Chains A and B, each alone.
Chain A
Amino acid sequence: MRAYQDMVFSTAARLTGNDAPAEDIAQETFLRAYENFAHLRASPTAGGWLKTVTTNLALNHLTRYRKRWRFFSELKIDDAEEDSAGLAYESAVPDTLLEHLGSEQRRAVIDDALRRLPEHQRVALVLYHFEDFSYQEIAERLHASLAKVKTDIRRARAALLPMMLSAGIAP
């Protein structure tokens, strides 16, 4: 468990953008792993299995919460942030990003930036850049059109850039 707990927690936290449910999801993942311990203990793909289960649990969690709270809490946020994200990036794309920071500092800055993205953009971006999903796989997993997934990811990138460049964080 110790070998994988950071990976499992990171995956859940980046997808949900929230540490509390991420810890719940990580716990559930390891409980399921324990139930399948006989198969996993000698399996070379245990890490992949854990990552898949974590991703599925996180996406299920997000779907449940979206349905429950969308009307009050997310619809307005999404719309407002969608507009600003739709402006795209105004500054030129630099050659490097946050290179002057240590890896832990860089991680904290980027994880905070990811949390600030609207959920549908963050999830698509995390699945693409961290989990190696293709656009098509993301579209199928999120029950969205391919065009929407591409747009969400492009907007997420455009929104991340100024967040990282601002406040003197980037060189």
Chain B
Amino acid sequence: MNQDPPDTDRLEGLLDRTLRRLPLRRAPRTLEARVLGELNRRASQPWWRRSFTHWPHAARAGFVATGVALAGLVLLGGSRLAMALRTLEVAGPASAWLRRVAAGAGAAGNLAASLADAIPQGWLDLGLAAAIVLYACLFGLGAAAYRMLYLQPQKPAGEFR
């Protein structure tokens, strides 16, 4: 073991000199073509498929105005709908349709609840455990694929071993 401060300083100086003198790595030949290709692809896109900052000013202003108007409509419409639901008794055919939808949703909920009651608790636990195991397997497979396909090719050929 050799960690004397003079040696530590010498190593720092030696590595600093060595690393700073290193030439740059040559960029892959494909880089320039990739950049130009991506620029062409972006340039050929219609404005509404580019990022928001590249939209024309009028389109941006229109989008914001429409967004604000829609938000206002939703808020206003929501309060109106709530009021209308409270007065279903006096409403016409629309309220009958809403009542049918509400009754259908209630029936579906009741059916789901009775199905859940009919399934033994053990089966539910088993299903949950199977889902967790499958999820973990999938995660492990993804990690293994990452290490095999992504990390391995970059490891050096073993010049130092």
Interface residues of A (CB under 8 A from B): 1-2, 5-10, 13-14, 17-20, 23, 26-27, 30-31, 34, 69, 71-73, 87-98, 103-104, 106-107, 109-113, 115-116, 129-130, 154, 157-158, 160-164, 166-167, 169
Given A88-B1, A90-B1, A158-B11, A106:B22 Cβ within 8 A: yes
Q: List 23 A-B contacts (CB under 8 A).
A: A1-B32, A10-B24, A23-B27, A23-B31, A23-B34, A30-B31, A31-B39, A69-B143, A89-B7, A89-B11, A91-B2, A93-B11, A103-B21, A103-B23, A107-B23, A113-B160, A116-B156, A129-B15, A129-B19, A154-B8, A163-B160, A166-B161, A167-B161
Given A1-B32, A10-B24, A18-B154, A112:B11 Cβ within 8 A: no
What B residues does A71 contact at CB under 8 A? 143
Q: With both chains docked as a complex, state the minimum distance between the C-beta of B15 and any C-beta of chain A, in angstroms.
A: 5
Q: Tell yes or no: B113 within 8 A of A by CB.
A: no
**A23/B14 in contact, CB under 8 A:** no
**B23/A17 in contact, CB under 8 A:** no
* A90 CA to B23 CA, complexed, in Å: 29
